[in-house]
A and B are shown apart, each in its own frame.
Chain A
């Protein structure tokens, strides 16, 4: 072998697209070859989606309630109204609740003993007050409810059943429980409402964790140190990784969107293209965050610990689990610095509210800014050599 036969870049002053692409191709290959990681990319979004789907799509059914009907009825111009009885009849057809009748006080004890979810008393003048209410707006209609409120979903479904029972019975007689749904009169199921947030979550958690693990492997397997001795610049390696990992974060986002749209029939009111753009952007945010964190993680264990450390506060404070407005006031400013906050707004806006780029300009700018910031800090902190 004669050395002079070979062309080698002798000096190395510039940024080399070829080295970046070689890293990108290599990382893509590594991920595809590593079955566990690849399976995680494809299957995890599916699994998470299904879990959320099942957990959130089911309505609460057959909550036992006791009703004490003391309503005497009311005769007016020869028409006798038995309002409570009519409502109870409507409720009997509603499978969200199982109705027993009995004494209100006994019902309270039943709620305390977990035999009933609610004890409901229709007072003697119930029909009368309903009729009066049609003529006198100040007339109060009272139903007395003793309710187990420890489980919000159950509480919600019972109250909703009752409300709808009243509306369905008297809806056309002037008692208005009319609800108007915003954003084009669409009412979403739990799953539909949560899909944008789940997308944000999956991208945050999986993209971050997977990226970290893949990045750290370079260090634990010793190849990173080997690369220190070559013309490969740390920034080239970094950009190569960002490109490769973003492609995979995208695959995740796509599989998630596909499942949501085609299996769970979650509607996308806004532009699908914009949604894909938002997914790319948010994937980039998480990948760059992983690249940044990987500069500080020495081994897989540290990386695995870092991921939840960043992902969990994100989940709690981003409006993903609870609306930001319900958080204590002193914590709310923290939400403003969490990327997921903006991603949730963007995903929800596009998918559920049909927002376009005009309404989401601010959030998009923030996400772009964060991705840039992470990339810059990552480039500034990445090592070319070992100290």
Chain B
């Protein structure tokens, strides 16, 4: 009975009352009590279902904060945050449909690759057989099959990053947050990742990413440029380039973000 109740079907969800926006943020303010930092200062953003949305911005402009508020890790100070049609205070009702790969690897170093992935499968309440099937696919896509019995501790940075990604994707979430997910991943694999992200998007999955690699950001469907906790430019890469009369997003970044390129 529970199974019938809870099986996710993307097409049925899309026909539900939920809007086409998977994230709706209005006047979001986030103040960190420690240090009294105003990380987000009246952020307004709407993210559409089935797009790849990239946050760019210099260090400390609130990219990670924004993502962490959306996935329920951080408590917003004020403003309205709706994710998958639910207010973020009811995060527990949608957490099973969200995937998250934080900036840190955030995997268990004393567990093997498969043990890490299985743990998150358990956390999301997946059936064992589903975990195994889905894991085999992810290991293949992320080129981790050879390393599946290796302790995470003994993996390279790029591999840990991929394990972290697998943990975020194991439950086939419809909304995925990736905070600097491709750091330490080599260019060939990174290209491969982006192809995979697009594949997911074409299935109706929404991806919200932060990136400091501007040519990578250019592969997103839409870009939001943050400065001092506010959205100062938003649009498709082409729109933005045309509007600001620049040749690349990197130029746009230098032009608008205060001149300093995020390392």
Q: Which residue numbers of A lie inside 8 Å of B, CB to CB?
A: 1-13, 16, 18-19, 22, 26, 29-30, 33-34, 221-223, 225-233, 385-387
Contacts and interface: CB of A to CB of B under 8 A. Distances in A.
A1 B139 CA distance: 13
Nearest to B107: A223
B10 A6 contact: no
A26 B109 CA distance: 11
A3 B205 contact: yes
Contact of A229 (B10, B98, B115): B98
Interface in B59-76: 68, 71-75
Q: Is the interface of A mostly helix, strand, loop or mixed?
A: loop
B97 interface: yes
Given A6-B134, A12-B93, A223 B125 contact: no
A9 B95 CA distance: 9
Contacts of A11: 6, 92-93, 96
Given A233-B92, A386-B73, 8 more contacts: A2-B203, A7-B125, A7-B127, A16-B125, A226-B106, A229-B72, A231-B125, A385-B73
B106 A231 contact: no
A223 B106 contact: yes
B125 A9 contact: yes
B123 A230 contact: yes
A386 B127 CA distance: 30
Contact of A9 (B68, B75, B115, B124): B124
B97 A8 contact: yes
Can you list the 8 inter-chain pairs with the closest CB atoms, starting with the nearest?
Answer: A222-B104, A9-B125, A22-B122, A222-B106, A33-B110, A229-B71, A10-B6, A229-B100
B65 to A, nearest CB: 10
27 contacts: A1-B172, A3-B8, A3-B10, A3-B203, A4-B7, A4-B10, A6-B172, A7-B7, A7-B8, A7-B130, A8-B8, A8-B125, A8-B171, A10-B7, A10-B96, A11-B92, A11-B96, A26-B119, A221-B106, A222-B102, A222-B105, A222-B106, A223-B107, A228-B73, A230-B95, A231-B123, A385-B72
B15 to A, nearest CB: 13
A31 to B, nearest CB: 8
A369 B212 CA distance: 53
A353 to B, nearest CB: 43
B36 interface: no
A2 B6 CA distance: 16
Contacts of A230: 95-96, 100, 120, 123-124
Interface range for B = 35 or more
Interface in B112-145: 115, 119-120, 122-127, 130, 134, 137
A30 B200 CA distance: 33
Which of B71, B108, B123, B177 has the most C-beta atoms of chain A within 10 angstroms of its own C-beta? B123
A10 B74 CA distance: 21
Contact of A8 (B103, B137, B172, B200): B172
Contacts of A225: 68, 73, 102, 106
Contacts of B134: 1, 6
A6 B102 contact: no
B41 interface: no
B5 to A, nearest CB: 7
Contacts of B200: 1
A160 to B, nearest CB: 53
Nearest to A16: B125
B37 interface: no
B203 A9 contact: no
Contacts of A1: 134, 137, 172, 200, 203
A26 B120 CA distance: 10
A386 B74 CA distance: 5
B79 to A, nearest CB: 16
Which of B92, B105, B115 has the most C-beta atoms of chain A within 10 angstroms of its own C-beta? B92
B151 interface: yes
A18 B203 contact: no
A7 B11 CA distance: 15
A30 B110 contact: yes
Given A8-B124, A33-B151, A222-B102, A228 B6 contact: no
Which of A5, A13, A33, A231 has the most C-beta atoms of chain B within 10 angstroms of its own C-beta? A231
B119 to A, nearest CB: 5
A387 B30 CA distance: 9
B111 interface: yes
Nearest to B124: A8
Nearest to A26: B119
A359 B105 CA distance: 53
Contacts of A19: 122-123, 125
Given A10-B8, A231-B96, A386-B74, A3 B127 contact: no
A38 to B, nearest CB: 10
A8 B6 contact: yes
B180 interface: no
A381 to B, nearest CB: 16
Interface in B1-24: 3, 5-11
A233 to B, nearest CB: 8
Contact of A12 (B68, B75, B96): B96
Which of A19, A22, A226, A228 has the most C-beta atoms of chain B within 10 angstroms of its own C-beta? A226
B13 to A, nearest CB: 10
B12 to A, nearest CB: 9
A225 to B, nearest CB: 5
A100 to B, nearest CB: 63
A7 B8 CA distance: 7
A1 B10 CA distance: 13
A8 B119 contact: no
Given A1-B137, A385-B75, A29 B96 contact: no
Contacts of B68: 225, 386
A116 B115 CA distance: 67
